[in-house]
């Protein structure tokens, strides 16, 4: 049985990337996709999928 690791750090990074994504959507719309990998990666890590 695996020990559960803390995912608080990953949730914080996920919300940070989400804020960057939203900021890019309003300021530099053509570059919002650059924040998608960070948002998706840390969301998956926060849910303990990866």
Q: Is residue 2 part of a domain?
A: no
Q: Which residue has the tokens 């990337």?
A: 17
pLDDT digits (tens, 9 = 90+) for 1-50: 566 778 899 999 999 999 999 999 999 999 989 999 999 999 999 999 98
* DSSP-derived 3-state class of residue 1: coil
Q: Both ends of the chain: CA-CA distance in Å?
A: 17
Q: Is residue 39 part of a domain?
A: yes
**Residue 10 and residue 31: Cα distance in Å, rounded?**
23
**Residue 30 and residue 50: Cα distance in Å, rounded?**
29
Q: Is residue 20 part of a domain?
A: yes
Q: Is residue 33 part of a domain?
A: yes
Both structure tokens of 23: 């900021």
Q: What range defines the domain where residue 36 resides?
A: 8-46
Domain count, the chain: 1
Q: Which residue has the tokens 């939203």?
A: 22
pLDDT value of position 5:
76
Give pTM, 2 decimals.
Answer: 0.82
pLDDT value of position 6:
85
Q: Is residue 3 part of a domain?
A: no
């Amino acid at each position: 049985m695996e020990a559960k690791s803390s995912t608080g750090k990953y949730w914080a990074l996920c919300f940070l990337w989400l804020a960057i994504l939203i900021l890019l959507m309003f300021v530099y719309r053509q570059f919002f996709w650059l924040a998608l990998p960070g948002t998706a990666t840390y969301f998956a890590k926060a849910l303990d999928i990866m």
